[in-house]
Chains A and B, each alone.
Chain A
Amino acid sequence: MFEGRQLVTGQALVSQALAAEQIDDDALELAVREHARLVYRVAYTVLRNHHDAEDATQETFLRVLRYRRKLAGIRDSRTWLARIAWRVALERRRRAPEVLLEEASMASRIPSAAASADEALLGQEMSAVFEGLIAALPAKLRDPLILSALEEMSTTDIAEVLGINAAAARSRLFRARQILREKFAALPGTL
């Protein structure tokens, strides 16, 4: 009798675990469908390489799979995912920095499909110049700037991803833009 009760309790626990797992799986699937592109873009801003950015996206969601029970309790899953993607991308960049530099220069030459009139102003050479100027910025200023390039990211989101407060993010962003403007204006033959 005792064994029977124990078996029933065990089965109930298993079915509960499976049900909870199903809920977690649904949340994870929803997160993938909604935020995979953002995760990819965050990874791309760091890695500047399509292949690595996709690998980083996969790795990000595998990490989420490991901690998927937390996902239901996360207030802002978008920022949480962006933060994980940012860390994953930084780790990958640390592992293979020499490949990334080469890919970054190639990426700057690929024209975007959604090129507008403003972007038409920007020739390949200008683009390469900006790429170089951004790369020369200190990481403290460069990180908020490249995250601000993503439409989805507000200053608060950027602050959250970088683990700093919103005021600091705003001031770093302002400073980075100011430095870029000054350096670009000072370049001979650009304007």
Chain B
Amino acid sequence: MKPEERERFAERLLDAHLKRYGQIEPRVGLEARVLANVQDHAQPERQFWRSQSWARLAAIAAIVVAIGVVFWLTRSPFPAGTAPVASTARETSAPGARNLAELAASEVTETPLSGVKYPRNPARSAVIAKSDPTPPRLEQFPSPQPLSEQERILAGYVAEFRREAVLVAEAQTRLERQDALETQMLSSDEDAARNSETPK
């Protein structure tokens, strides 16, 4: 066989093979089976729309969202029981009270109550952090306060007339001690008189 004839023959064989390749027929009733399967899968979706359960689901979802929004808006930024203690303690200015308050505040901030949930929303936490008026804790306790007007005048006098100031202070101390003695004597005399007057 010539090469051209061989190629032509091969071409015919190839065509015949490809024809057979594409002449595959499905089993009878393919369309019916496919339709039945498709309808089976479409049924639940259709029932969902017809039964109006979508409306019920939507209503439930709306209620849940509303409750969530209300809860989020009304929730305190600090857990109950911690914030009030901390804020009142920090507002107190008396040195003795401040000591106790600082202690209480440090206890509150360092050991959180078990089961207390802190706010997780970062934006909300940022707002809380901004609105918190607590000054940073200082190293010295009690923290140094600026001198009053009278204290400043006194400090100036002591610096200028140191000797006189010492004398005045000694005289003042002596006077106070004398006053204290007199007060003590008076009170003991009153007690003795009261005891003698009491009927037996």
Contacts and interface: CB of A to CB of B under 8 A. Distances in A.
Interface residues of A, number: 49
A58 B33 contact: yes
B139 to A, nearest CB: 65
Contact of B14 (A14, A37, A114, A177): A177
Interface string A174-186: 0001001100110
Contact of B16 (A36, A119, A181): A119
B25 A113 contact: yes
- The A contact surface, by secondary structure, is helix
Contact of B18 (A14, A54, A113, A145): A145
A5 interface: no
Interface in A27-47: 28-29, 32-33, 36-37, 40-41, 44-45
A118 interface: yes
B10 A61 contact: no
Contacts, number: 116
Contacts of B150: none
B21 interface: yes
A126 B13 CA distance: 8
- Interface size of B as a range: 35 or more
B27 interface: yes
A118 B52 contact: no
11 contacts: A17-B49, A32-B31, A40-B26, A58-B33, A62-B37, A112-B23, A119-B16, A130-B13, A130-B14, A185-B6, A185-B7
Interface of B: 1, 3, 6-7, 9-27, 30-31, 33-35, 37-38, 41-42, 46, 49-50, 52, 55
Interface of A: 10, 14, 17-18, 21, 25, 28-29, 32-33, 36-37, 40-41, 44-45, 50, 53-54, 57-58, 61-62, 65, 112-116, 118-119, 121-122, 126-127, 130-131, 145-146, 148-151, 177, 180-181, 184-185, 191
